[in-house]
């Protein structure tokens, strides 16, 4: 480690790494608690700077200002967003899909959908029932081996999901409670490094009136994968073929559910049948 990074933690996430520098020491402590499981030795590829200013906070990445005037309650969310952006910019050879991922009985389950579809809430519910956590944001898949690699960021929960948290709570000291005023960030204790993708779940509404979650064809899974894959437009037909391979080799479920237990039951039954 070079002298300028002495004493500063480096965190590795998929194919990139970063460190955080800030004059907000309580924030640094909180970030370390959320990403401690990602800590590694070595010089980081990126430096995230978070600095207090009169009208809020400034976030810079590699000496380039990304945003100024960030309110305290939005700061941690912006930090996580920047980390996600760094991960997406360094995909390596794997396909990066906007999806949560968990492992149930040695089988990988991808929860694929747009923001607000309930991926994080469903991932949390499955983890609380014994699933092992891989990600709630990006599923990194090798389409040849069907291996899903972990991107174990803290699970991000909006207020309408807080009522479903039973065993996990934000690791948030009172000094920085304002950082989790709008979003909760929780770190599951049970995690997996990688697993084989076996099932794709397409949640579109986790709470509300609608048809129960049920089996769908691979074409529906392929459409969802295409809609949620980073860099598909630039990669073109070769990427589409890789996604089609994933869809062909996985089962698929879709639909709205009236309760998280109902969704979890359906997923666990389907995994048991694989």
Flag whether 164 is in a domain: no
Residues 14 and 67 occupy one common structural domain: yes
Phi, psi of 182 (to 5 degrees): -105, -30
pLDDT tens digit at each of 274 positions of the chain: 333 545 589 999 999 999 999 998 888 988 998 899 999 999 999 999 999 999 999 999 999 999 999 999 999 999 999 999 999 998 788 999 999 999 999 999 999 987 777 788 889 889 989 999 999 999 999 999 999 999 989 888 877 776 666 665 555 556 767 888 888 888 887 888 999 999 999 987 554 545 678 888 889 999 999 999 988 988 999 999 999 999 999 999 987 766 788 889 999 999 999 8
Residue 212 within any structural domain of the chain: yes
Domain span holding position 206: 95-152+191-272
CA 250 to chain centre: 20
Question: Could you tell me which of 243, 250, 245, 244 has the C-alpha nearest to residue 267?
Answer: 250
- Strands in 46-53's sheet, in edge-to-edge order, are 39-40, 10-13, 16-22, 46-53, 56-61, 64-70
Q: What is the DSSP string of 250-269?
A: SEEEEE--S-HHHHHHHHHH
Do 265 and 201 lie in one domain? The reply is yes
Name the burial class of residue 134, with classes exposed (0-12), middle (13-18) and buried (19+) by CB atoms within 10 angstroms of its CB. Answer: buried
Q: pTM score, two decimals?
A: 0.87
Answer yes or no: is 182 within a domain.
no
Same domain, 17 and 109: no
Q: Per the domain annotation, does 105 fall within a domain?
A: yes
């Amino acid at each position: 480690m070079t002298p300028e990074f002495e004493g500063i933690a480096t965190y590795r996430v998929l194919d990139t790494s970063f460190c955080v520098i800030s004059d907000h020491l309580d924030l640094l402590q909180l970030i370390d608690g959320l990403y401690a499981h990602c800590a590694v030795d070595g010089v980081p590829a990126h430096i995230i700077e978070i600095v207090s200013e009169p009208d809020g906070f400034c976030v810079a990445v590699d000496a380039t200002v990304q945003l100024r005037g960030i309110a305290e309650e939005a700061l941690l969310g912006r930090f996580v967003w920047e980390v996600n952006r760094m991960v997406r910019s360094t995909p390596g050879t794997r396909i990066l899909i906007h999806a949560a991922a968990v492992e149930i009985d040695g089988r990988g389950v991808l929860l694929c959908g747009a923001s607000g579809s309930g991926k994080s809430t469903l991932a949390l519910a499955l983890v609380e029932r014994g699933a092992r956590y891989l990600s709630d944001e990006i599923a990194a898949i090798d389409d040849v081996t069907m291996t899903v690699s972990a991107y174990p960021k803290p699970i991000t929960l909006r207020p309408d999901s807080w009522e479903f948290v039973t065993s996990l709570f934000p690791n948030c000291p009172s000094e920085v409670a304002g950082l989790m005023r709008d979003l909760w960030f929780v770190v599951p204790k049970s995690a997996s490094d990688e697993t084989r993708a076996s099932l794709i779940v397409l949640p579109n509404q986790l709470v509300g009136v609608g048809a129960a979650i049920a089996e769908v064809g691979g074409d529906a899974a392929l459409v969802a994968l295409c809609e949620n894959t980073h860099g598909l437009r630039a990669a073109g037909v070769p990427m589409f073929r890789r996604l089609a391979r994933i869809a062909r080799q996985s089962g698929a479920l879709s639909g709205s559910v009236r309760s998280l237990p109902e969704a979890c039951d359906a997923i666990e039954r389907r995994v048991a049948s694989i």
